[in-house]
Amino acid sequence: MNVETKLGLDVFKIDSEPHILINQEICRSCEEKFCLYVCPAKLYSINRETGDMEIECSGCLECGTCRIACIHGALDWNYARGGFGIQYRFG
């Protein structure tokens, strides 16, 4: 089972505005780009055309691993707004 299918099982209340913002300038200067590998939901990817780092916030499990792994501080990280984001039914 791939991670997209797993996320499809979860209940998300999707917000139109992203709760994690990426500073592309800092991100471009980062050699390691740990966010690409540490996110358990695999939400980070590099846009092939623009070269920008992108995050698909609508599948975010709000664990905070990326916040800890982004050692250069490129993330303006917050939880989803109240009443939005992942709503665990089992937890």
Contact footprint for another protein (CB under 8 A): 1-3, 6-7, 9-10, 13, 32, 34, 37-42, 61-65, 67-69, 71, 78-83, 85-91
Nearer to another protein, 43 or 50 (CB): 43
- What minimum distance in Å lies between the beta carbon of 60 and another protein? 9
- 27 CB-near residues (< 8 Å, 6+ apart): 33, 52, 53, 72, 74
Nearer to another protein, 48 or 83 (CB): 83
What is the C-alpha radius of gyration for the chain, rounded to an integer number of angstroms? 13
Nearer to another protein, 1 or 47 (CB): 1
Instruction: Using DSSP, state whether 32 is helix, strand or coil.
Output: coil
User: φ and ψ at 75, to 5 degrees?
Assistant: -105, 130
